[in-house]
Structure 1
Amino acid sequence: MSILSYLHVVVTARLAELSRDGERGDSPVPTAVIIFGLVFVATVVTGLALSRANNWMTNIPTFSNPTAP
């Protein structure tokens, strides 16, 4: 049983060592481009949500025109 415990510790330590430094700095897409893309998508989604909310709010009837659609 102790050999299994030893092998478990050795494998766990080796996996932790390999995953610690990973692949750093060799990204094919720079971080700034990724951030710009995320900001662009967030802006589009926010604008779409705002326009849908404004359209929804304009369809609510007022007290002066209660039969509006």
Structure 2
Amino acid sequence: MHLFAYLHVALTTRLAELRRDGERGDSPVPTAVIIFGLVAAAVIVTGLVATKARGWMDAIPDPAP
């Protein structure tokens, strides 16, 4: 029975400490916005590179028969 009382006191004390601590980290919203921006930039850069590579490959003449 003493073990249950100890665990109860330890748990309630820890929960009280967590409630008192106001700083719990960053919200997930700014992180999601940053990730969305990075993905958009990556898509744009990939598209530009693919277009340049396609233009470079199209400029190569066909082999002579």
TM-score, length-scaled by structure 1: 0.52
Stretches of structure 2 that go unaligned for 5 or more consecutive residues are 1-22
Distance in 1 (CA, whole Å) between partners of 2:34 and 2:42 is 12
Unmatched runs of 5 consecutive residues or more in structure 1: 1-21
User: How many Å separate the matches in 2 of 1:63 and 1:40?
Assistant: 38
Q: Which runs of 4+ in 1 moved over 4 A?
A: none
Identity %: 49
Number of matched pairs: 43
Higher relative contact order (CA 8 A, sep 6+): 1
TM-score (norm: length of structure 2): 0.55
Q: In angstroms, what is the RMSD of aligned CA positions?
A: 2.7
